[in-house]
Amino acid sequence: MVVFQGMRLAIAGVVLGLGAAFGLTRLMASFLFGVQARDPAVFILMPLILTIVSLIAVWLPARRASAVNPLIALRAQ
Protein backbone atom coordinates (compact mmCIF):
# COMPACT_ATOMS: atom_id res chain seq x y z
CA MET A 1 0.00 0.00 0.00
CA VAL A 2 2.85 2.40 0.83
CA VAL A 3 4.64 1.59 -2.41
CA PHE A 4 1.44 2.11 -4.39
CA GLN A 5 0.78 5.52 -2.82
CA GLY A 6 4.36 6.66 -3.33
CA MET A 7 4.48 5.48 -6.91
CA ARG A 8 1.15 7.13 -7.65
CA LEU A 9 2.69 10.48 -6.69
CA ALA A 10 5.88 9.76 -8.63
CA ILE A 11 4.01 8.79 -11.79
CA ALA A 12 1.79 11.87 -11.50
CA GLY A 13 4.94 13.99 -11.32
CA VAL A 14 6.46 12.27 -14.34
CA VAL A 15 3.26 12.75 -16.37
CA LEU A 16 3.01 16.43 -15.41
CA GLY A 17 6.70 16.89 -16.22
CA LEU A 18 6.29 15.27 -19.62
CA GLY A 19 3.30 17.49 -20.36
CA ALA A 20 5.24 20.60 -19.37
CA ALA A 21 8.26 19.47 -21.40
CA PHE A 22 6.14 18.94 -24.50
CA GLY A 23 4.51 22.33 -23.97
CA LEU A 24 7.83 24.14 -23.58
CA THR A 25 9.76 22.53 -26.45
CA ARG A 26 10.08 25.81 -28.36
CA LEU A 27 11.64 27.53 -25.36
CA MET A 28 13.90 24.55 -24.63
CA ALA A 29 15.12 24.32 -28.24
CA SER A 30 17.33 27.37 -27.81
CA PHE A 31 19.03 25.84 -24.73
CA LEU A 32 19.77 22.38 -26.17
CA PHE A 33 23.00 21.47 -27.92
CA GLY A 34 23.33 18.22 -29.85
CA VAL A 35 19.79 17.09 -29.04
CA GLN A 36 16.55 17.98 -30.76
CA ALA A 37 13.78 19.49 -28.65
CA ARG A 38 11.51 16.48 -29.20
CA ASP A 39 14.12 13.74 -29.16
CA PRO A 40 12.23 10.47 -28.61
CA ALA A 41 15.11 8.85 -26.74
CA VAL A 42 15.09 11.63 -24.14
CA PHE A 43 11.31 11.57 -23.75
CA ILE A 44 11.34 7.78 -23.27
CA LEU A 45 14.52 7.15 -21.27
CA MET A 46 14.35 9.99 -18.75
CA PRO A 47 10.81 9.26 -17.48
CA LEU A 48 11.73 5.57 -17.33
CA ILE A 49 14.86 6.30 -15.29
CA LEU A 50 12.95 8.67 -12.98
CA THR A 51 10.24 6.05 -12.45
CA ILE A 52 12.80 3.34 -11.61
CA VAL A 53 14.62 5.63 -9.16
CA SER A 54 11.28 6.58 -7.57
CA LEU A 55 10.37 2.92 -7.21
CA ILE A 56 13.64 2.20 -5.43
CA ALA A 57 13.22 5.28 -3.22
CA VAL A 58 9.72 4.17 -2.18
CA TRP A 59 10.38 0.44 -1.95
CA LEU A 60 13.45 0.47 0.30
CA PRO A 61 11.84 2.31 3.26
CA ALA A 62 8.61 0.34 2.83
CA ARG A 63 10.57 -2.91 3.00
CA ARG A 64 12.35 -1.79 6.16
CA ALA A 65 9.10 -0.69 7.78
CA SER A 66 7.41 -3.99 6.97
CA ALA A 67 10.15 -5.88 8.82
CA VAL A 68 9.35 -4.11 12.11
CA ASN A 69 7.06 -5.88 14.54
CA PRO A 70 3.92 -3.68 14.87
CA LEU A 71 3.63 -4.35 18.60
CA ILE A 72 7.16 -3.13 19.23
CA ALA A 73 6.62 -0.07 17.02
CA LEU A 74 3.43 0.86 18.89
CA ARG A 75 5.11 0.47 22.28
CA ALA A 76 7.92 2.77 21.18
CA GLN A 77 5.39 5.53 20.53
Higher pLDDT pick, 10 / 72? 10
What's residue 31's pLDDT? 79
Enter the pTM of the model: 0.76
Per-residue pLDDT of 1-52, as tens digits, reads 889 999 999 999 999 999 998 888 888 887 777 777 788 888 899 999 999 9
What's residue 37's pLDDT? 77
Domain assignment of residue 23, given as a range: 2-76
What's residue 47's pLDDT? 93
DSSP state of 58: H
Query: Domain total for the chain?
Result: 1
> What Å distances lie between residue 8 and 2, 17, 32, 49, 54, CA to CA?
10, 14, 30, 16, 10
